[in-house]
Structure 1
């Protein structure tokens, strides 16, 4: 059995286990699933890499330079460092830098148990990342309303002297 056939067999088995009629790769070797009417997980078989890649949009990216964009990028980097919470997935930007994506790769030769477990962990991680980045957005909005604008000078501006930043 080829790796692609293995992936297709896993997709069909998963579809049957959750009550879907049929789930298979399209002409681009991709398919998608929607969970809870809000979380869309796209799966793509990459023949050259012998891999199945899960990709999901977490949220739109802030397109203009601003403190909010910097804070979002910092939060993304921070979440990527939380290996156990991320379950092997990572956050990235799409090609045109307009969306935050969650990505996880899996060997196409995996057995069904690993496929199902990885998909479940990916969806859980996606929910967690959406929540974390939305929470970050809400914190930024509320702090912008309640805090005075930062002063320039030593120790006054975030990221300037006196700001130790995040230590790992």
Structure 2
């Protein structure tokens, strides 16, 4: 499932600092819950990893050595050592280590370029991290945490239903 166009369209005009602020907040919360996330990258920790959702007008660049995340308009395409492109929901499933990256690559659901060793190291790190985005990000919603977690989990299930993703 692609990210709904009516929700993606406004991202063309929303200022990058606003989007980046929200993404950085989520990234820092994720790193607090998984502080060893990038430990398994070894020599690849200094690499830049770009994620380019095909259904959003944005790209995301992760720099594990700092650790930091940057957001930019897709047309700017910041340099990166390794790049993964595909629908946002599949990229998030990869982040959680719940989908079979090889199957998605060979079915052409994902586009992968650049340093393959770095991407394999990142995939191994993500697979062992046991990330659960609804839980990890939803728990910061205070008294609404249970509602946010359930809603986000339902969105994930619906978004990935019928996709050619093999679940671990």
TM-score bracket, normalised by the shorter chain, equals under 0.3
| Greater Rg by CA | 1
- Higher RCO structure (Cα 8 Å, ≥6 apart): 2
TM-score normalized by structure 2? 0.25
- Structure with the higher fraction of residues in strand conformation: 1
Going by fraction, where is helix more abundant, 1 or 2? 2
TM, length-normalised to structure 1? 0.25
